[in-house]
């Protein structure tokens, strides 16, 4: 019988199979730096102290909602090596924006759908990388790890627990699963 297992370097998607990430919904995302390197600043006395690249991350994260009328941001926090945030997608983007997103999508990936959560996160990561490179901030290395973590928020209780987690995350940095010295 032939070996049909995927190659060693093949990655399985952690996305919910069959779920349309373009539809209206509330999503908790975590985007990590490449190799979990502390690139955005440090935690001091339970508070995040951003460096120059950390400020770029915040500016581009806030731009996510400004650039898309169907996307809103809820709470978020930039940590030394990752960002946690809640993204609200209200529905499909306007038709003109869809055309632009479709063109970008074709250049990025055959599986990335315009207007989807993946497209939003992908554009955010690319914008941070471009801006950092132009300003010569941390561009000696890759900034982001491949992909991102997401969780579909299905009810108010879950949303409130995630909000609390985001608010308390800097104070619990040493307990964080992404903690590095």
* pLDDT band with cut points at 50, 70 and 90 for residue 21: confident
- Ordered by start, the domain boundaries in the chain are 25-168
Which stretch of DSSP H or E encloses residue 35? none
Q: What is the pLDDT of residues 98-124, one digit of tens each?
A: 444 444 444 444 455 677 899 999 999
* pLDDT band with cut points at 50, 70 and 90 for residue 141: confident
Kindly list the distances between the CA atom of residue 142 and the CA atoms of 37, 122, 123, 146, 164, in Å, as whole numbers in the listed order: 10, 14, 16, 10, 31
CB–CB of 25/63 below 8 Å? no
* pLDDT band with cut points at 50, 70 and 90 for residue 173: very high
User: From the centroid of its chain, how far is CA 172?
Assistant: 21
User: By three-state DSSP, how is residue 128 classified?
Assistant: helix
The structure's pTM equals 0.79
- Token match 């995927």: residue? 6
pLDDT of residue 105: 43
Kindly list the distances between the CA atom of residue 48 and the CA atoms of 44, 55, 60, in Å, as whole numbers in the listed order: 6, 11, 17
For the cut 50, the answer to whether the pLDDT of residue 1 exceeds it is no
Specify the CATH number for 25-168; select among 3.40.30.10, 3.30.70.1290, 3.90.79.10, 1.10.3720.10. 3.30.70.1290
Say which residue, 70 or 14, is predicted with more confidence. Answer: 70
Q: What is the pLDDT of residues 45-96, one digit of tens each?
A: 999 999 999 999 999 999 999 998 899 999 999 999 999 999 999 865 444 4
Closest CA to 60 of 118, 123, 119: 123
Q: Which value, in Å, is the radius of gyration of the alpha carbons in the chain?
A: 17
CB–CB of 36/81 below 8 Å? yes
């Amino acid at each position: 019988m032939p070996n049909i297992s995927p190659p060693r370097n093949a990655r399985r998607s952690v996305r919910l199979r069959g779920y349309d990430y373009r539809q209206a919904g509330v999503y908790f995302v975590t985007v990590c730096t490449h190799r979990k390197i502390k690139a955005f600043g440090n935690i001091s006395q339970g508070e995040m102290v951003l460096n120059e690249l950390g400020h770029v991350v915040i500016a581009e994260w806030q731009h996510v909602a400004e650039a898309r009328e169907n996307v809103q941001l809820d709470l978020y926090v930039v940590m030394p090596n990752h960002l946690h945030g809640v993204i609200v997608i209200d529905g499909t983007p306007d038709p003109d924006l869809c055309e632009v997103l479709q063109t970008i999508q074709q250049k990025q990936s055959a599986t990335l759908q315009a207007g989807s959560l993946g497209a939003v996160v992908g554009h955010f990561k690319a914008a941070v990388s471009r801006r950092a490179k132009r300003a010569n901030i941390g561009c000696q290395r890759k900034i982001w790890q491949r992909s991102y973590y997401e969780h579909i928020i299905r009810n108010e209780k879950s949303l409130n627990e995630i909000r609390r987690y985001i608010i308390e995350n800097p104070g619990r940095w040493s307990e964080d699963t992404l903690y590095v010295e």
